[in-house]
Amino acid sequence: MTLKTISQKLLYSFVSFLLLTIGTAQAGNKMTNIKQLLNTYETALNASDTKTIMTLYSDTAIFMPQHADAQVGLENIENAYKHVFKAINLNVEFTTHEIEKLGDTAWARTSSAGKTTILANGAIIDEGNNELFVFKKENGSWKIHRYIFSTTSPQK
Amino acid sequence: MTLKTISQKLLYSFVSFLLLTIGTAQAGNKMTNIKQLLNTYETALNASDTKTIMTLYSDTAIFMPQHADAQVGLENIENAYKHVFKAINLNVEFTTHEIEKLGDTAWARTSSAGKTTILANGAIIDEGNNELFVFKKENGSWKIHRYIFSTTSPQK
């Protein structure tokens, strides 16, 4: 084996390693972005932080809260959260069951469980929901594009 | 303009027309398949027809009915529908608000409204829901892959 051949092999190995590293980092980054978005949503929801929540939605988002019509557009979504946070205080934890990315669109299924405090009387009740999200990449950042949740608590 | 030029122009026009027609027919067909799936679901739901409903789900589907945990897999989904149809009779109409296709995956947002008959006492109540679907193409046919619904009725 000549010195030239060895140099070439080393160069190929290095390039392969570099490409693999970049590829893995990018895939990891993409995945982290949606998980991070969900983590930020969880924290903001528990803090009744409408301002932060609104930064997570796409410009043409639709939110489907339980017991209400679909909230189309950012203004309606913001009012819906303000309305909810006047009535309750959430303390829930999200579990991400699956995330699938398809180009600039993605969807995720999560569930959440914890406690809700009714602000009117201080009562604390169990809270449990399933959630389905559709995300859109907007200017390079993943945003919530469609979002619906539904209670898992038995019917009264 | 020579006869040859005219013949060529006619041929080009014909080929363009043919390609456009095929393209439109294919796009229409794809769209129709998901709309048709939703129509079949509506009819089967109103007929408490679990057998037909089960043909609409993908092999690895997950259904998130309200007031229950996520139903993972066909056996659990089938039991969930049987359980529901023992308790209620639905008479609802679905409105498809949007369908987006991304290769072999698609999502749709719908809402439904109508009446529910409680079989135990014959009472008829208003029914209204938002729905979010994720579809997968399985052996060339669109199937329900993830499905969640959430009531729009005001909280009692």
pLDDT in tens, A6-45: 566 655 655 555 454 444 444 444 445 999 999 999 999 9
Helix, strand, or coil (residue A14): helix
Whether the pLDDT of residue B25 is over 50: the answer is no
Residue with tokens 């009531």: B151
Residues of A numbered 1-60 whose beta carbons fall under 8 angstroms of chain B's beta carbons: which are they? none
Q: Compute, in degrees rounded to 10, the torsion defined by CA atoms B110, B115, B116, B120.
A: 180
A100 touches B: beta carbon within 8 Å: yes
pLDDT band of residue B156 (cuts 50, 70, 90) is confident
Chain mean pLDDT for chain B: 88
- The answer to whether the Cβ–Cβ distance between A103 and B102 falls below 8 Å is yes
**pLDDT for the residue numbered A32:** 54
- Find out whether B87 and A155 touch, Cβ atoms under 8 Å: no
**pLDDT for the residue numbered A100:** 97
Within 8 A of A148 by CB-CB distance, chain B residues are 130-132, 148-150
**pLDDT for the residue numbered A28:** 41
First to last CA, chain A: 79
Helix, strand, or coil (residue B124): strand
B85 touches A: beta carbon within 8 Å: no
Q: What is the pTM of this model?
A: 0.81
Q: Identify any residues that bridge with A93 across adjacent strands, giving them in sequence order.
A: A113
Residue with tokens 């009692």: B156
**pLDDT for the residue numbered A97:** 98
Q: In angstroms, rounded to a whole number, what is the distance separating the alpha carbons of residues B7 and B132? A: 52
Min Cα distance B24 → chain A (Å) is 24
Extract the runs of DSSP E, i.e. beta strands, from A3-140. 57-64, 71-72, 88-102, 105-118, 124-138
- The answer to whether the Cβ–Cβ distance between B66 and A150 falls below 8 Å is yes
- The answer to whether the Cβ–Cβ distance between B111 and A154 falls below 8 Å is no
- Find out whether A31 and A25 touch, Cβ atoms under 8 Å: no
Min Cα distance A8 → chain B (Å) is 40
- Find out whether B143 and B135 touch, Cβ atoms under 8 Å: yes
The residue-averaged pLDDT of B13-23 equals 51
**pLDDT for the residue numbered A156:** 76
**pLDDT for the residue numbered B30:** 44
The tokens for B155 are 């909280």
For B107, which residue in chain A has the nearest alpha carbon? A134
B127 touches A: beta carbon within 8 Å: no
CB nearest A134 (choices: B69, B107, B111):
B107
Q: In angstroms, rounded to a whole number, what is the distance separating the alpha carbons of residues B138 and B136? A: 6
The residues of chain A scoring below 50 in pLDDT are: 18, 20-31
The residue-averaged pLDDT of B80-86 equals 97
ipTM for the assembly: 0.80
User: B88-102 and A88-102: which strand pairing?
Assistant: unpaired
For A149, which residue in chain B has the nearest alpha carbon? B150
Measured in residues, chain B has a length of 156
What helix, strand, coil percent values describe chain B, rounded to 5?
A: 40, 40, 15
The residue-averaged pLDDT of B32-56 equals 96
Whether the pLDDT of residue B11 is over 60: the answer is no
Q: In angstroms, rounded to a whole number, what is the distance separating the alpha carbons of residues B132 and A132? A: 7
Within 8 A of B153 by CB-CB distance, chain A residues are 67
Within 8 A of A150 by CB-CB distance, chain B residues are 64-66, 148-151
Top pLDDT among B109 and B11 is at: B109
B120 touches A: beta carbon within 8 Å: no
Q: Compute, in degrees rounded to 10, the torsion defined by CA atoms B130, B134, B137, B143.
A: -40
DSSP character string of A56-77: TEEEEEEEE-TTS--EESHHHH
pLDDT band of residue B23 (cuts 50, 70, 90) is very low
Within 8 A of B68 by CB-CB distance, chain A residues are 152, 154
